């Protein structure tokens, strides 16, 4: 708990630096790009269009509470893309920012935080695509508009805590083991299929598999988000408690590990 509070206090103290580095990261990502920040909306829009075509013409999954399926899938993919993208970039963020890391005025904790916040900006910029899809389905009578989507900032809290904590741990480990990113990419692929993103736990009829997947800490985090973004309801209080608990535990453990390795980072870079 102390480590998590210490890191949070340091980031808040250097919030101006964090904001400046987030702007630098976003500017560098879209430098020499014709459409610039519009890609943050165009990429998820194209993704949603592909899913809509595939899952209405080629595949037609039948799952309770998951119609239209393309929008159901998209509502689960958005937080996952934020989560996985931030962790993959975090694996190399300290290495990539080695010259800045050597400066005393630039604490190491800033860099994984900047990575997470930059991906959070991309996530926020993609939300209008989700809203447009929901509005279109409501107009066509395919799915009622879930007004709970306006409360999505609440559901993002566990995601930011979880992603921030893991990003700190992964960034510190990535300095010492440069193949961390490759290993992480494979682990995330496995975790994706073990997380109820393309399916619902209620739709699983194999009892032992359902119970096994319920042990996945991300199950409640996904359920909390998608209940607001797609289903138009609040997830059960137990799911909210588990989601927040998972986020806090990940933040505390990630901060603790980062602080333990902080003194070795500059030399290893």
- Grade residue 5 by pLDDT with cuts at 50, 70 and 90: confident
Q: Residue 96's pLDDT is what?
A: 86
Q: Residue 104's pLDDT is what?
A: 60
Mean pLDDT, rounded, for 69-74: 84
Positions of E strands within 105-187: none
Q: Nearest Cα to 210, choosing from 219, 223, 218, 201?
A: 201
Q: Residue 57's pLDDT is what?
A: 67
User: Has residue 186 got a pLDDT over 80?
Assistant: yes
Contact yes or no for 192/80 (Cβ under 8 A): yes
The pTM of this model reads 0.90
Residue-wise pLDDT for 86-101, tens only, equals: 999 999 999 888 777 7
Residue-wise pLDDT for 235-245, tens only, equals: 999 999 999 99
Mean pLDDT, rounded, for 152-171: 96
Residue-wise pLDDT for 199-256, tens only, equals: 888 777 778 888 888 889 999 999 999 999 998 899 999 999 999 999 999 999 999 9
User: Has residue 258 got a pLDDT over 70?
Assistant: yes
Between CA 213 and CA 175 the distance in angstroms is: 32
Residue-wise pLDDT for 40-49, tens only, equals: 667 767 776 7
Q: Nearest Cα to 222, choosing from 87, 85, 54, 81?
A: 81
């Amino acid at each position: 708990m102390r480590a998590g509070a210490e890191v949070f206090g340091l980031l808040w103290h250097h919030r101006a630096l964090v904001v400046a580095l987030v702007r630098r990261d976003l500017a560098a990502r879209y430098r020499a790009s014709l459409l610039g920040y519009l890609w943050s909306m165009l990429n998820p829009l194209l993704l949603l269009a592909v899913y809509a075509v595939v899952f209405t013409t080629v595949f037609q999954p039948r799952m309770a509470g998951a119609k239209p399926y393309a929008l159901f899938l998209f509502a689960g993919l958005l937080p996952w893309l934020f989560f996985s993208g931030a962790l993959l970039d975090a694996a190399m963020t300290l290495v990539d920012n080695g010259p800045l890391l050597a400066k005393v005025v630039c604490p190491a904790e800033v860099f994984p935080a900047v990575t997470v916040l930059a991906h959070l900006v991309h996530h926020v910029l993609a939300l209008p695509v989700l809203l447009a899809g929901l509005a279109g389905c409501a107009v066509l009578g395919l799915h009622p508009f879930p007004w709970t989507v306006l409360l999505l900032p609440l559901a993002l809290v566990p995601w930011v805590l979880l992603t921030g904590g893991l990003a700190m741990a992964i960034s510190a480990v990535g300095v010492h083991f440069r193949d961390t990113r490759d290993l992480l990419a494979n682990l995330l692929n496995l975790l994706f299929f073990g997380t109820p993103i393309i399916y619902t736990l209620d739709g699983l009829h194999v009892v032992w598999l359902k119970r096994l997947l319920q042990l996945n800490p991300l199950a409640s985090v996904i359920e909390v988000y998608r209940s607001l973004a797609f289903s138009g309801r609040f997830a059960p209080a137990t799911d909210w408690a588990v989601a927040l608990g998972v986020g806090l535990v990940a933040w505390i453990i990630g901060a603790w590990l980062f602080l333990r390795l902080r003194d070795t980072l500059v030399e290893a870079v």
